[in-house]
Amino acid sequence: MALRQGRVVLRQGRWHTDGTVTTCEGQTVKPDLESWATEHIQRRQRHSSMEVSVAWLEAPEGSQLLLVANEDFCTWQPTEKSF
């Protein structure tokens, strides 16, 4: 129901070692993720030669990590013009 009401947002971008993310829109944010999710991202980051990409959902009820990968998610994120 929340997704249909427009209160769930997909966010994605590049993870930095200080726990912030530069989103595909160029904003710097600190996702409010559960500790297990942050630890998972940090483990992936330690084994990568580049900053990892992260994708998560934000909703009034909280945030949920979806994906962590070496691939740059921003290269295929749709824009308002292309959507």
Instruction: Say how many C-beta atoms besides its own lie within 10 A of residue 20's C-beta.
Output: 15
Q: What is the pLDDT of residue 61?
A: 85
For 27-41, write each residue's pLDDT tens digit.
999 999 999 999 999
Q: What does pTM read for this prediction?
A: 0.83
User: Of 58, 22, 15, which is closest to residue 39 (Cα–Cα)?
Assistant: 15
Q: Return the closest-CA partner of residue 12 out of 60, 62, 59, 75.
A: 75
Q: What is the mean pLDDT of residues 39-55?
A: 95
Percent of the chain that is helix, strand, coil (3-state, to 5) = 20, 35, 50
CATH numbers and ranges of domains, the chain: 9-73 (2.40.50)
DSSP H or E segment with residue 64: strand 62-69
